[in-house]
Amino acid sequence: MAELELDQLVNVVLRRVADRLGQTPDRSRDEWQPALLVAGNWKMNAPGGGAGEALVEFASHLALAPQTGVDTLVFPPATLISSVRSALAGAGASTEVGSQDLHWEPSGAHTGEVSADLVLAAGATWTLVGHSERRAAGETHDQVKAKLHRAVASGLSAVLCVGEGLDDRTNGSTFRVLRVQVQTALAGLALRGVTPGRMAIAYEPVWAIGTGRVAEPAQIDEACAFIRTVAGEEFGAAWASRLRVLYGGSVTEESAADILAIDQVGGLLVGGASLSPKRFAAIVEAGAARAQNLSAQGGGS
């Protein structure tokens, strides 16, 4: 049997098993909802340029922000993972640290790259995969898939980033683009037994990143719902209902609460505003307020 056919067969079987598991009675959707996830992607920047005192200040602001019902996470440049992790631990913040990228090979002659094991050793527990800025630099769908599978196999949790460009949006290709990005990256991942808490998918429309233009609530809601549906084709509906689908693209402390109020949104991936300790802490606070609101409503909106 050709390798592809075998792969497809395995996927069908796994999907059926996942769907069966999803039908397990006695577990209401509410009990299974994970906390909201508020993450900051510093890109090739760091608060105060990455100086030790600036990281300590960042960590202490974050430690003070109410974080009940919110998981927090920052993605500093790779060289700062270890010092950011120490600063957060020193301030008593529960925030985890992630890598912005990783190579799909475990080690080898790949000058300038970082492996999953190297970022784990530096203190990272998460990684971003497939950010549009990396895709724009030539990263292919298959490379994104290989990175995601490597991350999961190595014990890193991962945020898969997807999103359409402006041309895709204007020519009506948004859902086709999202389907290819999500489906390719997730193919075969159910085999690895990843739990929904160890993964998130960030919907980041390219035209909203760094532009000051936030997607409309209806656009965010339908894109996130679609991403969840496509994820469910790999993992089953019950798994997908617990997946955190984040929104990213020009999120600020002013817009955070409204975006978090969108039904399908399970958190935020914040770029520019995550570099300011005060602004990021305010966004985390908006997450805590939304989590409180959700729990008062009995876990769903």
Catalytic residues: 131, 204
Asked if 235 and 190 count as a contact pair (C-beta separation under 8 A), the reply is yes
Q: Is 130 a binder of ligand 13P (CB under 6 A)?
A: no
Residue 157 C-beta: closest distance to ligand 13P, Å: 16
Compute the CA torsion angle 119, 182, 273, 207 (nearest 10 deg): 130
- Cβ proximity to ligand 13P: between 226 and 247 the closer is 247
Q: Is 69 a binder of ligand 13P (CB under 6 A)?
A: no
Q: State the maximum Cα–Cα separation within the chain, in Å, rounded to a whole number.
A: 59
- Cβ proximity to ligand 13P: between 98 and 232 the closer is 98
- Cβ proximity to ligand 13P: between 18 and 256 the closer is 256
Joined together, the tokens standing for residue 148 give 């995601």
List, in order, residues 6 or more apart from 54 with CB less than 8 Å away.
Answer: 46, 47, 48
Residue 41 C-beta: closest distance to ligand 13P, Å: 4
Per CB under 6 A, which of residues 245..284 are in contact with ligand 13P?
Answer: 248-251, 269-272
Q: Is 232 a binder of ligand 13P (CB under 6 A)?
A: no
Instruction: Return d(Cα 200, Cα 243) in angstroms, integer.
Output: 6
Per CB under 6 A, which of residues 176..215 are in contact with ligand 13P?
Answer: 204, 209-210
Radius of gyration over every alpha carbon of the chain, rounded to an integer in angstroms: 18
Cα 167 → chain centroid: 24
Which positions touch ligand 13P (CB under 6 A)? 41, 131, 204, 209-210, 248-251, 269-272
